[in-house]
Amino acid sequence: MTKAVAHIFGSEAKVKVMRLFIYNRGSIFTTKTIIERVKESSKSVRKELGALVKAGLIKKRAKGFVLADDYRYLSALEHFMTDTSKVSERDIVKKLSKAGNMRLVLTSGFFRHDPEARVDLLVVGDKIKPKRLISAIASIEADLGRELRYAAFETVDFKYRLGVYDKLIRDILDYPHQKLIDKVGVPPLV
């Protein structure tokens, strides 16, 4: 979806930068932080920052850049960005699969329009490599323009927690979520 929206706004980098600021209202970002968070080249980020400052969406401050809360079309833009910030399920699974043998991947929270949920993403697998998992999550976050709350477990640990009715696991499974992969056999909502 990001590429389709990028055609409207001119570039994928601009869409990522806009989402970063819209989903992190009040946060001040340095150019370096923006480049790291959106995972785009320094040249393209600097170009898009200049354009967004000129448009009035972002303001330059002494310590970095911040969203202009008084931007006339901010509310409409925020709704548009939220409605179009979907990362495909296939992309999420593909990125996470690089971190290990995925047995259960489910989305909740942000993906289900539930800001009160404890996590946005639950990952369960075997031989999960922490650095690769962090990299995969960072890549998904860059596409979305926001940080994700996530929980990751090895399959054995997850099954134990499920069996003892662990509060975090129950909070995730008892509320709206979507299973992208389920090789564990998690029971449906009761």
Burial class of residue 115 (count of CB atoms within 10 Å of its CB; 0-12, 13-18, 19+):
exposed
What 3-state class would DSSP assign to 42? helix
pLDDT of residue 11: 85
pLDDT of residue 6 exceeding 70, the answer is no
Q: What percent of the chain has pLDDT over 70?
A: 92
Per the listing, tokens 């800001």 go with 115
DSSP secondary structure code for residue 5 in this structure: H
pLDDT of residue 134: 95
Where exactly are the structural domains of the chain?
A: 2-84, 89-182
Beta strand spans in the chain (E): 58-61, 64-67, 101-107, 121-126, 150-154, 178-182
* Overall fold of domain 2-84: Arc Repressor Mutant, subunit A (1.10.10)
pTM flag (> 0.75)? no
pLDDT of residue 19: 87
What band does 1 get if pLDDT is binned at 50, 70 and 90?
very low
Tokens of 130: 């922490």
The number of residues in the chain equals 190
Per residue in 39-69, pLDDT tens?
A: 899 999 999 999 999 999 999 999 999 999 9
Tokens of 12: 């994928």
Count CA atoms closer than 13 A to 73's CA, side-chain side: 8
Rg of the chain over Cα atoms, rounded to whole angstroms, equals: 18
Decide if 26 contacts 66 (C-beta within 8 A): yes
